[in-house]
Amino acid sequence: MPRFKLLIEYEGTRYSGWQIQKNARTVQGEIADAARSVFKTGEFELYGSGRTDAGVHALEQVAHLDVNTVLAPHIIRMKLNDQLPADINILEVQKAPKNFLARHDALARSYLYQISRRRTAFGKKFVWWINDELNFHRMAEASKLFTGLKDFRSFSRDNREEKSTKVLVERIEMKEDGALILIRITGSHFLWKMVRQVVGVLVEVGRGNMSNVEVEALLKAQTGKPAKLTAPPSGLFLEKVFYEGDQHALPLRPVLSIPLQ
């Protein structure tokens, strides 16, 4: 059965995440429905590079699709997009080696989070609007504490008994862009809600409610404090999934520019 690599963008506002769930609308479910219509069969397999939570967006999710078809990749892309809702778009379809696995072959992933320092009528679905004054430089300094191989057991709801909570965070990049604070986190993989909880802690630092010493303590002991600070999903984007040969250096740019006024 031929295998294809799909690059997908989506706005996650209306969906209960990527992965198919019973009695819930998901991105994977919508693509599977489109595939059934295009290929006139239910005999196919569709696997993503990883889950995204309800309300989280993707600039470039990756999936592999196994299906018997004579259609060329560009025709598959066109036909799938004809069947998909406007908030899901197949960017590209490529032929892939039969041993390519969207999840297990991924070497790293980057997530982008957008914080808006002013109320916005147009970007509400794509930012976390914070009305408080944020100290960007304090946030940037605190972000360095999360890089390297760390135990993020306090930054996830994953069961530590079932999987390791150690994650290699390659780097965290931050930038001010108009009314936005951009935070990019790149790592080997991420635990459930980990990125949003890291962002929530950085915001508390920016508000002046938490010191770097307190942040370090969160990484050393089991505590539920980060969960209480979880940033909303609206500002989070799966930005890029990296495979062998991919360039890791990317410009840090907003999805939607928001001027200060």
Catalytic member of 53, 66, 158, 177: 53
150 within domain boundaries: yes
State whether 79 and 151 are in the same domain: no
State whether 180 and 228 are in the same domain: yes
Q: How does DSSP classify residue 164?
A: -
248 within domain boundaries: no
Question: What angle, rounded to 10 degrees, do the helices at 27-39 and 73-83 form?
Answer: 120
State whether 152 and 36 are in the same domain: no
Instruction: Give the domain-ending residue among 73, 96, 119.
Output: 96
Q: Measuring CA to CA, which residue among 181, 211, 183, 179 is closest to residue 197?
A: 183
Name the percent of the chain lying above pLDDT 90: 89
User: Which residue shows structure tokens 């100290």?
Assistant: 135
Q: Tell me which residue range forms the domain holding 67.
A: 3-96
Statement: residue 159 has pLDDT above 60: no
**pLDDT range class, residue 68, cuts 50, 70, 90:** very high
Strand 108-116 relative to strand 236-242, pairing: antiparallel
Of the chain, the end-to-end C-alpha distance in Å amounts to 54
State whether 153 and 202 are in the same domain: yes
CATH number of the CATH domain containing 171: 3.30.70.660
What CA–CA distance (Å, rounded) separates 223 from 153?
8
pLDDT for 161 equals: 52
State whether 122 and 237 are in the same domain: yes
CATH number of the CATH domain containing 55: 3.30.70.580
State whether 121 and 29 are in the same domain: no
State whether 41 and 151 are in the same domain: no
259 within domain boundaries: no
CA torsion through residues 4, 65, 184, 234, sign: positive
249 within domain boundaries: no
State whether 48 and 126 are in the same domain: no
State whether 151 and 214 are in the same domain: yes
Per the annotation, the verdict on 151 as an active-site residue is no
pLDDT for 259 equals: 87
pLDDT for 225 equals: 92
Please count the structural domains in the chain: 2
Instruction: Give the domain-ending residue among 96, 123, 142.
Output: 96
76 within domain boundaries: yes
pLDDT for 158 equals: 59
